[in-house]
Amino acid sequence: MSDALAQALAAAPYALPQPQREALLLDGLNALTQHHHLHCKAFARILDGAWNGAAPASSLADVPYLPVSLFKTQTLQSVPDSEIRITLTSSGTTGQSVSRIRLDAETSTLQQRALSGCLMHVLGRQRLPMLVIDTDAVFKDPTMMSARGAGVLGLMRYGRNHAFALDPQLRPDLAAVRGFLEAHGGGPFFLFGFTFMVWISFYEQFRAAGLDLSNGILLHSGGWKKMTERSVDQGTFRKALAEAFNLTRIHNFYGMVEQLGSICLEGPDGLLYPPNFSDVIIRDPETWEPAPLGRPGVVQVLSLLPRSYPGHSLLTEDLGVVEAVDAGHGGWMGKGIRILGRVARADLRGCSDVIASAA
């Protein structure tokens, strides 16, 4: 583990002010750029062809980045095949290519430790009883197994006494939910579901059941496209859950398989905050320069975790905006961001094509 990462993990996950965070990240990211340049031939060709090689960046904005879509077409790893322990794949609709992220034991361990620290910030240090807003068939039935199933399994390790709100046919299982609440609803418990599942399969199906979830802590994630189609924004989502279930402790999070462990978590002001060992830069899709505070652009994500593959600086296909810096609400520091949706493929084509040609 690098000194920069060790220092970042030693502090409360979302506590470092932006200037301190940037100084810490810059040293660590420059070291990762050099590491991957030395050990990943494809990454070295990209840096040598499209950037100034592995020369140290003078600011976070100057750290070379890869379009996240490259992981769908290129094999990018910085360790020998013999050291790969697991290959993660991203979600994708039928016919789409998926990202393949190759992890060695060290990177996998770092990601799990980092994710655990992020989640404990809102869940506490003890594993809580967990109600999953999904069906266990999503990972038990091979025909249903997907990135959604992998996501459910991944989060289940942070809970205990698991119960599932839906049966294998995705129908509401009110008896299971009531049984869980009778056993565990009197104290803190943990709920997890993908955002559209929480709304469509839980809120819309259970809202008239008179459930009391006031001791619950909900973590949810996933794109808001289906929610937007139903005219449900973040405020509507939170208000509806509070009115139907007395559920008020709600944390959205933003992350991706290409930087597993580096999740931006929703703070008390409703904005998403990257943890100490990561950061977000918003780039103007016309100039690719960093956008000023309050101006939307393409989201670039930075992380000190990826060592087995060059994923430490990635240009995503998401649109976002930084709305606050070091606001300090409840001790949450750094950049407070809002994810606005996906960008048009055409906006990224120029950048992706130039870099891909250097591979």
Q: What is the pLDDT of residues 258-306, one digit of tens each?
A: 888 889 999 989 999 999 999 999 999 999 999 999 999 999 999 999 9
Q: SS3 for 223?
A: coil
pLDDT value at residue 137: 82
- For 279, the token pair is 């950061």
Provide the mean pLDDT of the chain: 89
pLDDT value at residue 323: 97
Residue 329 DSSP one-character state: G
Is residue 16 scored above 60 in pLDDT?
yes
- Which helix (H) or strand (E) segment holds residue 253: the answer is strand 249-254
pLDDT value at residue 355: 46
Burial of residue 271, with CB atoms counted within 10 A of its CB: 0-12 exposed, 13-18 middle, 19 or more buried: buried
**350 pLDDT tier (thresholds 50, 70, 90):** very low
Best-predicted range by mean pLDDT (85-94, 137-146, 316-325) = 316-325
At 75, phi and psi to the nearest 5? Answer: -90, 110
Q: Widest CA span of the chain, in angstroms?
A: 62
Residues 63 and 302: beta-carbon distance below 8 Å: yes
- For 294, the token pair is 């309050």
pLDDT value at residue 93: 47
The number of beta carbons lying within 10 Å of the beta carbon of residue 349 is 12
The CA radius of gyration of the chain, in Å to the nearest whole number, is: 20
pLDDT value at residue 203: 95
pLDDT value at residue 330: 85
pLDDT value at residue 148: 72
Residues 218 and 154: beta-carbon distance below 8 Å: no
The Cα 301–Cα 314 span in angstroms is 5
pLDDT value at residue 294: 96
**92 pLDDT tier (thresholds 50, 70, 90):** low
Q: Which residues make beta-bridge pairs with 32? A: none
Q: What is the mean pLDDT of residues 203-216?
A: 96
Is residue 216 scored above 50 in pLDDT?
yes
Among candidate residues 174, 167, 180, 162, the one with its CA nearest the CA of residue 206? 174
Q: How many H helices and E strands in the chain?
A: 12, 14
pLDDT value at residue 25: 96
For 154-173, the pLDDT digits (tens) are: 788 899 999 999 998 889 99
Is residue 348 scored above 70 in pLDDT?
no
Q: SS3 for 95?
A: coil
